Structure 1
Amino acid sequence: AVRDEGTSYHYLPPSREVTLDPDVVQTIGATLARHSVTGTECKTWTTDAFFRETEKKIALRKDEGCLCVEMECSAAAAVARFRNVKFGQILYAGDNLDAAEYDDREWWNAMSNRERLFELSLEACVGIR
């Protein structure tokens, strides 16, 4: 995750990115695959300044390989590493802001998808050692 928030710098030395535990990422991927749920392992841009997600910054983050933006991943990963605990993240993209027109992806009608993802997240947690 690209670190563009303030919390992670209180837990880890400064760096451009923080990586997640590969074993945790693999466990999450295997859990999803067992249930025929497709997902994309990707780099994310963590920022707590969503009103500063300018077109220029979006283009720069895409050039860095980021496929999405969120507000927690790098901070949570830094705290987990500092505390020596396992951490992984599953992002559910409920909408798309990176298009000429807003696409809500039927967010309000997708409760069963979110419930299933929650259950799969719990299963993945059980598999993390």
Structure 2
Amino acid sequence: MDLPADPLRFDPDADALITPSAPELTEPWPDRLVLCYFHEQIAALRERGAARLAGRFTAEMGGHGIHLVDAADGDPVAVFHPGVGAPAAVHHLERAMAGGARRVVLCGSAGALVPGLVMGHAVVPTGAVRDEGTSFHYAPPTEVVDVDRAVVDALVGLLAERDVPCVTGLTWTTDAPFRETRAAVGARRDQGCVVVEMEVAALLAAARFRGARLGALLYAADDLSGPAWDSRNWTTADARADLLTLAIEATGRIHASE
């Protein structure tokens, strides 16, 4: 469903007053990138010598380290935490795309909106409901931004090869996690959303605007499907380490846009 047009929210002109620049790395920027929301898993890769610190973002944006990991096929993959919330995540993605990142996988968690989605279950979004502001600066106003079908198929195929059960469906991207009311959750669930998070819609729109391809590998974290919120101690999920490993491999299954 199309939303009312607002000329102040989207301008298709790619020539903006400020052009994103890539942070300098000790090695060339790879075209494969994982946006990982698991600080402890990035640290674990580095501690066991599987990731090397190649640069950092500015302190104003959190100073997150940019790590390089050699995938099983030998290609380097950039891995970093992109910051919480759509504006921060897209800022970091923009700068990575300025360095040449074109095949991107988001690796993170999301709140379960449907009953029976146990903590740690893998979720591959097929699209994201745009309940945030950033995506509207990268794409005309529509209700949902879709994930490229080929990207969804690549991620689902990889999980099937590794015998990892997954759920597919829409995700609800919101700027306001403390305004996830019962009525809002019910409406999004009726719309086909299986999880809720804060970045996917904006990242999808920004990647497409810049000619990159992006998919998401999420796991069901806290639970919003019942009458009360259940945190489920979601940051302790065993799925986090496996999901990052899968995300690194998955970047090699995505073909760059023509």
Q: Same fold (TM over 0.5)?
A: yes
How much has 1:113 moved relative to structure 2? Answer: 2.0
- Shift in CA distance, 73/128, structure 1 to aligned 2, threshold 3 Å: same
1:15 match:
142
Q: Please, which of 172, 181, 187 is the counterpart of residue 54 of structure 1?
A: 181
C-alpha distance in structure 2 between counterparts of 1:16 and 1:82, whole Å? 17
How much has 1:55 moved relative to structure 2? Answer: 1.2
1:3 match:
130
C-alpha distance in structure 1 between counterparts of 2:235 and 2:209, whole Å? 37
Alignment RMSD (CA, Å):
1.5
Q: Please, which of 233, 239, 245 is the counterpart of residue 119 of structure 1?
A: 245
| Pairing 1:85-100 to 2, within 5 Å after superposition | 85-100=212-227
C-alpha distance in structure 2 between counterparts of 1:57 and 1:93, whole Å? 19
C-alpha distance in structure 1 between counterparts of 2:146 and 2:236, whole Å? 33
C-alpha distance in structure 2 between counterparts of 1:128 and 1:118, whole Å? 16
C-alpha distance in structure 2 between counterparts of 1:104 and 1:126, whole Å? 33
2:131–2:174 Cα contact (<8 Å) kept:
yes
C-alpha distance in structure 1 between counterparts of 2:161 and 2:167, whole Å? 15
C-alpha distance in structure 1 between counterparts of 2:250 and 2:167, whole Å? 16
SS in structure 1 of the partner of residue 202 of structure 2: helix
- Shift in CA distance, 109/121, structure 1 to aligned 2, threshold 3 Å: same
Greater CA drift, 5-14 or 47-56:
47-56
C-alpha distance in structure 1 between counterparts of 2:137 and 2:229, whole Å? 35
Which structure has more strand as a fraction of its residues?
Answer: 2
2:209 match:
82
The TM-score with structure 1 as length reference comes to 0.91
User: Which consecutive residues of structure 2, in runs of 5 or more, have no partner in the other structure?
Assistant: 1-127
Q: Please, which of 30, 33, 52 is the counterpart of residue 160 of structure 2?
A: 33
Aligned residues: 128
Report sequence identity in percent. Answer: 46
User: Which consecutive residues of structure 1, in runs of 5 or more, have no partner in the other structure?
Assistant: none
2:219–2:239 Cα contact (<8 Å) kept:
no
C-alpha distance in structure 2 between counterparts of 1:101 and 1:63, whole Å? 18
Structure with greater contact order relative to length (CA < 8 Å, sep ≥ 6) = 1
C-alpha distance in structure 1 between counterparts of 2:228 and 2:165, whole Å? 25
SS in structure 1 of the partner of residue 203 of structure 2: helix
Q: Residue type matched to 2:181 in 1?
A: T
Greater CA drift, 13-22 or 94-103:
94-103
SS in structure 1 of the partner of residue 212 of structure 2: coil
SS in structure 2 of the partner of residue 61 of structure 1: helix
Q: Residue type matched to 2:132 in 1?
A: E
Greater CA drift, 95-104 or 64-73:
95-104
